[in-house]
Amino acid sequence: MLVTGSNRGIGREIVEALATRETHVLAGMRDTSAFERVGGARAREVTPVRIDLSSKGSIEECVAGLGGRRVDVLVNNAGRFAGGLFEEGDVDEYYDLVQVNFAGLVHLTRRLLRPMLEREHGKIVNNASIAGYAHFPGAAVYSGSKAAVVGFSEALRRELAESPVGVLQVVTPGVETSMLAQVRRDYDEHVGDTSKLDGVDPGEWAGKVVDAIESDAEVLNPGGMERLAKLASRGPAALLDTVLGRAFDR
């Protein structure tokens, strides 16, 4: 099992939850020297592996470095956020974000899917976002990148329907990590009350992700308002235009 972006946030919590299972976990991260061992009496050994999703070369090196280690479950979790007015953002940052959130995810999936198909066993887990459905103003590039993850996940799930490999799309709501703290900072000027952006506990969400992997679910949906937002996103655009338009002040 390989989890990207696992040095902190949701990825780290997924690794901690998986470490108590009967599986060997590879913790993908940019800087393996900062890897902190997973504690607890029931935790199994977790192996850190270096991967920078913004670099094609790093993704290839990571896959080559796996050697004989099987990856039966790939958790594409790593991601980055950029918020604020689109025209004020940094173009290099936009390239990097799209690379990490989408192109790198596609690249790594391409490399690891074929061996799964050959072994007739495997699962691809993609961490999308509620922003991939309800496209937030002030997060245009992030929303676009996550909509791409949603489209990729749905198309690939249908493409693999008759195969032994499954696809799980994780529609992540607001989760209390450093990313949500960045969302609050970037939204500060544009959204009246950022306390409404309260997130769920990362350990709780990671537990749901692991349950969804183990129960062979195809989609893990958020609850509460985010569930309603996802439903609304499949209806007339005017609905979300009104709700998100009210929340956002340019």
Ligand X SMILES: NC(=O)c1ccc[n+]([C@@H]2O[C@H](COP(=O)([O-])OP(=O)(O)OC[C@H]3O[C@@H](n4cnc5c(N)ncnc54)[C@H](OP(=O)(O)O)[C@@H]3O)[C@@H](O)[C@H]2O)c1
Residues engaged in binding ligand X (CB under 6 A): 4-5, 7-11, 30, 51-54, 77-80, 100, 127, 129, 172, 174-175, 177-180, 199
Beta bridge partners of 235: none
For residue 77, the minimal CB distance to ligand X (Å) is 5
Give whichever of 80 and 157 is closer to ligand X, judged by the CB atom: 80
Q: What are the b/e assignments for 3-21, b being 16+ CB within 10 Å?
A: bbbbbebbbbbbbbbbbee
Give whichever of 163 and 178 is closer to ligand X, judged by the CB atom: 178
Provide the terminal-to-terminal Cα distance of the chain, rounded to the nearest Å. 43
For residue 173, the minimal CB distance to ligand X (Å) is 6
Q: How far is it, in rounded angstroms, from Cα 241 to Cα 243?
A: 6
Give whichever of 55 and 121 is closer to ligand X, judged by the CB atom: 55
For residue 114, the minimal CB distance to ligand X (Å) is 22
Q: How far is it, in rounded angstroms, from Cα 30 to Cα 118?
A: 29
For residue 95, the minimal CB distance to ligand X (Å) is 12
Give whichever of 121 and 194 is closer to ligand X, judged by the CB atom: 194
Q: Hey, which residues are catalytic here?
A: 142
**What are phi and psi for residue 148, nearest 5 degrees?**
-65, -40
**What are phi and psi for residue 43, nearest 5 degrees?**
-75, 135
